[in-house]
Amino acid sequence: SSVATMEHIYYHPWETVTKAAMQKYPNPMNPGVVGVDVLNRHVDTQGRLCSNRLLSTEWGLPSLAKTLIGITRTNTYIQENSVVDPKEKTFELQSSNISCTNIVSVDEKLTYRPHPQDPQKTILTQEALISVKGISLSSYLEGLMAKTISANAGKGREAMEWVIRRLNTEIEELAATAQATIRIPMAAAVTEK
């Protein structure tokens, strides 16, 4: 098994990043995620929001890999547990893939916190733990998964920036619509003369 740790800084405040992370899908960088469902959610006695979500993914595996791994369906399910602490300003997500055979398991943990020196920025710490068991090609596959995960990490950040832009555009559009609504009655008053 292997662990990969990465850190990334977003030039957005923690609340913005947390809202975006909560609404991460759909986004064009993750076309494989085809469904997101909330299985359970509650606010605990410490005021933290705990959620358990199911991500349905579809991904194309080359047919040789399918034969080696023995996957007959291309649907993978990921179970994600997350905790948002609005007082401490932390958003922690832990996800692992679900599979009947449990040959390859990927556990990922993400933590979003405000940047200690700059409240307008957010730090993401990302850890991935991959383990493969039961096949002699295990180290090859682990290497493959590790490469895929680090390639995906870049995609993940792009996806977050996309969601943040979308949320900001919606806010701007709402503001523009409100302004336009105020102007129209005045224009009508002028032409009536």
Partner 1 sequence: MNSVGEGCTDLKREYDQCFNRWFAEKFLKGDRSGDPCTEMFKKYQHCVQKAIKEKDIPIDGVEFMGPNKDKP
Give the one residue of 10, 12, 18, 82 binding partner 1; rule: CB under 8 A: 18
- The answer to the question of residue 72 lying near partner 1 (CB under 8 A) is no
The secondary structure of 15-72, three-state, reads HHHHHHHHCCCCCCCCCCEEEEEEEEEEECCCCCEEEEEEEEEECCCCHHHHHHHCCC
Q: How are beta strands 90-98 and 75-85 bridged, if at all?
A: antiparallel
Give the one residue of 4, 6, 54, 141 binding partner 1; rule: CB under 8 A: 54
Give the one residue of 4, 6, 22, 103 binding partner 1; rule: CB under 8 A: 22
From the CB of 188, what's the least distance to partner 1, in Å? Answer: 33
- The answer to the question of residue 19 lying near partner 1 (CB under 8 A) is yes
- The answer to the question of residue 174 lying near partner 1 (CB under 8 A) is no
Q: Which stretch binds partner 1 (CB under 8 A): 19-27, 106-114, 153-161, 176-184?
A: 19-27
Are 130 and 145 contacting, i.e. CB atoms less than 8 angstroms apart?
yes
